[in-house]
Amino acid sequence: EVHLLESGGALVQPGGSLRLSCAASGFNFNNYDMSWVRQAPGKGLEWVSAIGGGGGGTYYADSVKGRFTISRDNSKNTLYLQLNSLRDEDTAVYFCAKGFARDYFEYWGQGTLVTVSS
């Protein structure tokens, strides 16, 4: 059974940094593209970033490009998202998901809440 478990969400001040993690199990992690998708309170889904299965290729939404960095450790079956220069509008639940553009988001974690506020 596939499981995705996010962690690392917290309350952080504007301009601050945070690292989110997503522990994966139940599938051959290194073979699959992985993504982060976020959802601001009361709003819809927004794709944030993705990384290729072998770690090759990283992709970002314009809204986070230059501030967020996606990475993965295939030896630990873990996906990461480093969030820097955080803004109020980055407040959201961040979901990790198995899949990317030419796939679909087959599995999702339960999400981790990032709140950016002074």
Partner 1 sequence: QSALTQPASVSGSPGQSITISCTGTSSDVGSYNLVSWYQQHPGKAPKVMIFEVSKRPSGVSDRFSGSKSGNSASLTISGLQADDEAYYYCCSFARGGPFVLFGGGTKLTVL
Return residues touching partner 1 (CB under 8 A): 35, 37, 44-47, 50, 59, 61-62, 95, 100-102, 104-106, 108-111
Minimum separation from the CB atom of position 31 to partner 1 (A): 18
Q: How far is the CB of 101 from partner 1 (least distance, A)?
A: 4
Tokens representing 85?
């220069």
> In terms of CB distance, is 27 or 105 closer to partner 1?
105
Token couple for 4 = 């995705």
CB of 74 to partner 1, least distance (A): 22
Nearer to partner 1, 43 or 118 (CB): 43
Cβ proximity of 49 and 37 under 8 Å: no
Q: Spell out a b/e string for 76-112, using b for 16 or more CB atoms within 10 Å of the CB, else e.
A: ebbbbbebeebeeebbbbbbbbbbbeeeebebbbebb
Nearer to partner 1, 18 or 37 (CB): 37
Select 16 or 111, whichever has its Cβ closest to partner 1.
111
On whether the CB atoms of residues 80 and 68 are closer than 8 A, the answer is no
Of 68, 63, 59, nearest in space to 99 by CA: 59
Q: How far is the CB of 3 from partner 1 (least distance, A)?
A: 12
